Chains A and B, each alone.
Chain A
């Protein structure tokens, strides 16, 4: 009964390094999302996807790229990490845009 699984759970990067966060869902959902959560800012949408092979920008897309090559996976990439990208990242998925979203446990990323 996995739901939405994020990998890794914790990561420390040096400024300028790159990394990819993986999100996997086993519910056959069409929609997938990447959010970041910062103190006092709530959840802000980075990128989202409404189906395999599609991606769209959210509220704060700069510095991030995404890919949805397979329906069950949604990857978030940081090409050149900056301290401003220190945050907790959440992946979510939903059957449709108006359906409830299911969230992963989060990835705590620190950029030093």
Chain B
């Protein structure tokens, strides 16, 4: 079946450090890939997405590239801020219809000043 594996947290970084959160997936067909972010006390919101191989999703300084050859969708940001502290979820939606989103377990990021 479809599944997502993302790196265990928590991750603690100093402000302006480089961030990578690894995400790999298993899926049949050609899934769409997503990163969601959850700020404390809130629901999840879409951060970025990519719908086909070699697509790069980007938003708020975050980037992720859909790598079909390595089945990966790693999240990166060149310089994190305290306001980026949150839980990040990688997710996929399989290419066929009627299949709901599958989420990774989430990675908690704490950025300290």
Contacts and interface: CB of A to CB of B under 8 A. Distances in A.
Contacts of A48: 100
Instruction: Name the residue in A33, A50, A92, A101 with the highest tally of chain B Cβ atoms < 10 Å from its Cβ.
Output: A101
A83 B34 CA distance: 32
Interface in A34-51: 35, 40-43, 45, 48, 50
Contacts, number: 61
B66 interface: no
B105 A33 contact: no
Contact of A103 (B31, B43, B49): B43
Task: Determine the interface band of chain A, counting residues with CB < 8 A from chain B.
Answer: 20 to 34
Interface string A38-76: 001111010010100000001000000000000000000
Interface residues of B, number: 26
A3 to B, nearest CB: 9
B46 interface: yes
Given A42-B105, A98-B32, A104 B98 contact: no
Contact of A90 (B43, B93, B98, B105): B43
B86 to A, nearest CB: 14
A48 B100 CA distance: 8
Interface of A: 4, 31, 33, 35, 40-43, 45, 48, 50, 58, 90, 92, 94, 96-106
Given A33-B101, A97-B98, A100-B46, 15 more contacts: A35-B103, A42-B104, A48-B100, A50-B98, A58-B100, A92-B44, A96-B97, A97-B96, A97-B99, A98-B31, A98-B32, A98-B51, A98-B99, A100-B34, A101-B46
